[in-house]
Chains A and B, each alone.
Chain A
Amino acid sequence: GAGVSQSPSNKVTEKGKDVELRCDPISGHTALYWYRQSLGQGLEFLIYFQGNSAPDKSGLPSDRFSAERTGGSVSTLTIQRTQQEDSAVYLCASSLRTGGRTDTQYFGPGTRLTVL
């Protein structure tokens, strides 16, 4: 596809369950970002990948959150033992270069996660 895609678009889960969110970046984009957007809030940086490595994991809110990227392409964000405060829209973005300061990030449509 031409843009960043994310799946699922919506996910409803019960408290305590694990969830996996997927991001397919634009082909050839080496940098990949995960953000969280809570209701009425801005974008909260979670993690950044350069290729398959994650130089910056500082935004992950707790050890229940983890992410991986394989083949320099698809990335999966996993939330274990979900809590109600995890409810948010999770956005993925990719950029062409190495995450340089002037890079334009291209965003996916997001995954809306609801934890009951």
Chain B
Amino acid sequence: AQSVTQLGSHVSVSEGALVLLRCNYSSSVPPYLFWYVQYPNQGLQLLLKYTSAATLVKGINGFEAEFKKSETSFHLTKPSAHMSDAAEYFCAVSDTRDKVIFGPGTSLSVIP
């Protein structure tokens, strides 16, 4: 069965610092992976997704993630945090036709 773990339910970074949100997956078949973001009082929206084309995926708002098969990881990074990046971030895996499994989420706080 597929699953997703996100290390750290809450991460705090200073404005301008590197953002690193960790995601590890378990999948019996080659996975497709997603990062979604949920801003306060808003619905989830797609940040980026890995669909086996390039292992380094660039998304919106300066975020990117790298698929590492050997580490079963898909960590999300951003070189310089902005106050507007404060949100809940969800990693997800799709390895069956009809279902996407979401991780528990990581809440990102940005300190001025």
Knowing A42-B90, A55-B98, A99-B98, the reply to whether A107 touches B104 (Cβ < 8 A) is no
Query: When the two chains form their complex, are residues A42 and B94 in contact, meaning their CB atoms are under 8 A apart?
Result: no
Q: How many Å lie between the Cα of A100 and that of B32 in the bound state?
A: 10
Query: When the two chains form their complex, are residues B32 and A91 in contact, meaning their CB atoms are under 8 A apart?
Result: no
The answer to whether the Cβ of A108 comes within 8 Å of any Cβ in the partner chain is yes
Query: When the two chains form their complex, are residues A109 and B42 in contact, meaning their CB atoms are under 8 A apart?
Result: yes
Q: How many Å lie between the Cα of A103 and that of B101 in the bound state?
A: 13
Residue of A33, A41, A107 ringed by the most chain B CB atoms within 10 A: A107
Knowing A107-B43, A107-B44, A109-B42, the reply to whether A101 touches B101 (Cβ < 8 A) is no
The answer to whether the Cβ of B12 comes within 8 Å of any Cβ in the partner chain is no
Query: When the two chains form their complex, are residues B43 and A4 in contact, meaning their CB atoms are under 8 A apart?
Result: yes
B103 to chain A, nearest CB (A): 6
Query: When the two chains form their complex, are residues A101 and B42 in contact, meaning their CB atoms are under 8 A apart?
Result: no
Q: How many Å lie between the Cα of A103 and that of B100 in the bound state?
A: 10
Query: When the two chains form their complex, are residues A108 and B43 in contact, meaning their CB atoms are under 8 A apart?
Result: yes
Query: When the two chains form their complex, are residues A43 and B99 in contact, meaning their CB atoms are under 8 A apart?
Result: no
Q: Which residues of A contact B (CB under 8 A)?
A: 3-4, 33, 35, 40-43, 45, 48, 50, 55-56, 91, 93, 99-110
Would you mind naming 5 contact pairs between A and B with Cβ atoms under 8 Å apart?
Answer: A43-B44, A101-B94, A105-B46, A105-B100, A107-B45
Q: Which residues of B contact A (CB under 8 A)?
A: 9, 32, 34, 36, 42-46, 49, 51, 90, 94-105
